[in-house]
C-alpha cells in the first residue's frame, strides 16, 4: 500500500501547517519510558524515515527518558526541515521506570522550557503542552507562566494534556490554547466531550495511544470485520476512524519499527464508508 499523507488533510498549529497523521516518539526510549532505546541506531533510522515519509508533526516530552527523547530527535533530524513541527511537553517528572509525577510550579515549567530549547537545538518551541495539570498549583498560574514564555518568544503555541472541558475553558480564559492531547481511541472514548468541544472551538485534538486494543479490536470484532472488508490492518482502521471522527484530530501513533511505522502511515489511504463508521460506533 502506498502512503499519501496529503490525503489526511492538514491542520494549522503554532504558525505551521501539518499533515493530520503524526508520529509519537515516546516509543523511542527504554523500557518504562526510561533511559535510552535498546537500539539507538535503529531509533535514529526510524526518526529519519518518519520525515522521509512526509510526516510533519512529531510529539515528544522532556520526561521521555527523561530528556533522552528530545536529544535523540535533535541527533537524528537537526537541522530540522522547515515544515516539521516538533511538539514537546513539560510538567511531568520522572523518578524511575514507569513513575510519573505532576509538577506545575511556574519556576519548574520555565526551567524545563529553557532546557527543551537547548536539547532540541531551537530558539523557539513550536508547541509546548502542559503534560499534566498539577493539582497543587492553580491552573491559571501554570498556564500563565507558559503564556509569559510565549510572549518572550520561547514558545509559539501552548497546549494541554489530559484535561477535561472545564479545565480547558479555565486555561482559555488565561491565554489561547492551540491543542489538547488526551488518550483516545476506538476502545477508550472517555474524552468524547473534550473532542467534541475542541471540534466546535477549532482546537487541535491529539489522540495518544490511538490504536484500539482489547475486545473491540480482537477476533470477530467490528475492527477486524472492517479491516477485512477494506484490505487494511486493524491498526490502520483504528487510525482511519480517528481521522474521520473529527476534522480536528491529529493522531500520533508511535513505534520503534520502520515496518510498523509504514503500516501506521498507510492509514492515510484507508477510506471508511458511512456504514463502516456506523459499525465501528
- CA 90 – CA 108 distance, rounded (Å): 9
Calculated CA dihedral for residues 42, 132, 168, 177, nearest 10 degrees: -50
Q: Which of 112, 94, 87, 93 is nearest to 34 (CA)?
A: 94
Task: Give CA 140 to chain center in angstroms.
Answer: 23
Secondary structure of the chain in HEC code, one letter for each residue: CCCCHHHHCEEEECCEEEECCCEEHHHCCCHHHECCCCCHHHHHHHHHHHHHCCCCEEECCCCCECCHHHHHHHHHHCCCCCCCEEEEEECEEEEECCEEEECCCHHHHHHHHHHHHHHHCCCCECEEEECCCCCCCCHHHHHHHHHHHHHCCCECCEEEECCCHHHHHHHHCCCCCCEEEEECECCECCCHHHHHHHHHHCCEEEEECCCCCCHHHCCCCHHHHHHHHHCCCHHHHHHHHHHHHCCCECCCCCCCCHHHHHHHHHHHHCCCCHHHHHHHC
> Which residues touch 272 (CB under 8 Å, ≥6 apart)?
226, 230, 237, 240, 241, 244, 280
Tell me, yes or no, if 80 is annotated catalytic.
no
**Catalytic one among 64, 80, 108, 208?**
64
Q: Catalytic residues, which ones?
A: 64
Amino acid at each position: 500500500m502506498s502512503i499519501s499523507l496529503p490525503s489526511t488533510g492538514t491542520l494549522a498549529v503554532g504558525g505551521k501547517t501539518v499533515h493530520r497523521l503524526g508520529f509519537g516518539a515516546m516509543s523511542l526510549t527504554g523500557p518504562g519510558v526510561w533511559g535510552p532505546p535498546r537500539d539507538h541506531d535503529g531509533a535514529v533510522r526510524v526518526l529519519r524515515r518518519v520525515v522521509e515519509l512526509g510526516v510533519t508533526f512529531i510529539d515528544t516530552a522532556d520526561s521521555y527518558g527523561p530528556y533522552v527523547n528530545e536529544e535523540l530527535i535533535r541527533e537524528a533530524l537537526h537541522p530540522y526541515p522547515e515544515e516539521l513541527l516538533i511538539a514537546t511537553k513539560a510538567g511531568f517528572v520522572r523518578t524511575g521506570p514507569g513513575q510519573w509525577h505532576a509538577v506545575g510550579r511556574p519556576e519548574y515549567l520555565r526551567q524545563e522550557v529553557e532546557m527543551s530549547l537547548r536539547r532540541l537545538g531551537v530558539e523557539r518551541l513550536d508547541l509546548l503542552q502542559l503534560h499534566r495539570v498539577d493539582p497543587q498549583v492553580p491552573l491559571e498560574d501554570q498556564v500563565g507562566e507558559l503564556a509569559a514564555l510565549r510572549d518572550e518568544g520561547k514558545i509559539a503555541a501552548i497546549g494541554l494534556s489530559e484535561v477535561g472541558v472545564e479545565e480547558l475553558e479555565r486555561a482559555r480564559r488565561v491565554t489561547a490554547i492551540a491543542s489538547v492531547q488526551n488518550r483516545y481511541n476506538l476502545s477508550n472514548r472517555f474524552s468524547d466531550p473534550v473532542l467534541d468541544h475542541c471540534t466546535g472551538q477549532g482546537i487541535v485534538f491529539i489522540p495518544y495511544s490511538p490504536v484500539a486494543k482489547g475486545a473491540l479490536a480482537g477476533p470477530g470484532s467490528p475492527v477486524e470485520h472492517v479491516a477485512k472488508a477494506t484490505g487494511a490492518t486493524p491498526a490502520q482502521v483504528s487510525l482511519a476512524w480517528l481521522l474521520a471522527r473529527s476534522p480536528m484530530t491529529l493522531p500520533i501513533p508511535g513505534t520503534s519499527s520502520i515496518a510498523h511505522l509504514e503500516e501506521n502511515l498507510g492509514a492515510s489511504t484507508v477510506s471508511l464508508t458511512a456504514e463502516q463508521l456506523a459499525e465501528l460506533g
